[in-house]
Amino acid sequence: MCGQRLDKMIAGLIPQFSRARLAMWIEDGHVTVDGKKARGKDTVYGDETVVVVPQPAPEDAAYTAEDIPLDIVFEDEHIIVVNKPAGLVVHPGSGNWNGTLLNGLLHHCPQLLTVPRAGIVHRLDKDTSGLMVVGKTLAAQTDLVRQLQARTVKREYYALVWGTPHLSGTINAPMARSQKDRVKMAVSASLTAKPAITHYERIGQGEIERRPVSLVRCHLETGRTHQIRVHMQHLGFPLVGDTVYGKQHLAQFFHRQALQARRLGLVHPATGEQMEWTVELADDLLALLERAGVEEPLDEEEGGGARQRMEFDYGDMDDEDDDDDHDVTLIYTDR
């Protein structure tokens, strides 16, 4: 080891850890040489005392219960329906290994540790608010997965967009990962593009700083990543506050994409009862609508038939594992 770089010497002695992880420990001061913080490029000659203090990997905290406040809309021994706030990541991943909805669910219901992905069967973007369902048992989760795959789960989204789209319409435009920016999705005619169909209805109008805006209600027939955001931008009506797919100079008017999963309907996995939940729009969205002069339309129950809800036969559509909202991967484990 005489004359070797410190990082290479350590990598040879403890090969079970990746070089990237060891480099992070060195950078953060968890590796010392003769009691002093060292650099990876430092040379060791063989008579030094090298101390390595292993640190847990960020992903080790992924399934740790955390006391995160949750807005529980419904709960019984089989399912939980939660109203996710904007800003909360659904489950741990790169850059977000804790502080997620999954961590909060484990604190609220410790038995979810025995269910794959803590019972989560679908996702919402970090900055999208709204309803999600979680299976508390493997049987409930499996049934919810089947309903999602059969497209029988009803989900209704509200979005505020720039401009004035037609009163109603269907966007049938396949989507794929953007070739210019791999973080983004895009409408695409490539062979890798997946079918993507969005039904929308304009239900309100207003303006922000003399720019017209519209409140639209969306139903997704397929579940591609960022589908509503991409499809509305493709029509020329990006979501207010969307810094990824909207115009940057308009991002100042709202701190997130103006999108909420407001209504959720499904068959209860244990009783077979058709159930449906609706939540009020998030406070920040309500304030935005008020600022824009858009009146929120009444629900059927409140408005005496003021509107007719759109219903679609979703059929057996293709799924993609990487999608954010509507795709599921059920992992069976022996516990």
CA distance 126 to 256: 10
The amino acid occupying position 88 is: L
Q: Which residues contact 324 (CB under 8 A, 6 or more apart)?
A: 123, 124, 125, 223, 225, 226
Give the containing element (helix H, strand E) for 206: strand 197-208
CA distance 222 to 251: 27
Which three-class secondary structure state does DSSP give residue 249? helix
CA distances 281 to 2, 40, 132, 257, 311, Å, are 66, 52, 14, 14, 21
* β 129-135/79-84 pair status: antiparallel
Q: Is 125 a catalytic residue?
A: yes
Which three-class secondary structure state does DSSP give residue 279? coil
Q: How far is CA 205 from the centre of its chain?
A: 28
Set 125, 143, 323, 324: catalytic member = 125
Closest to 34 (Cα-Cα) out of 19, 23, 18, 45: 45
Active site (catalytic) residues: 125
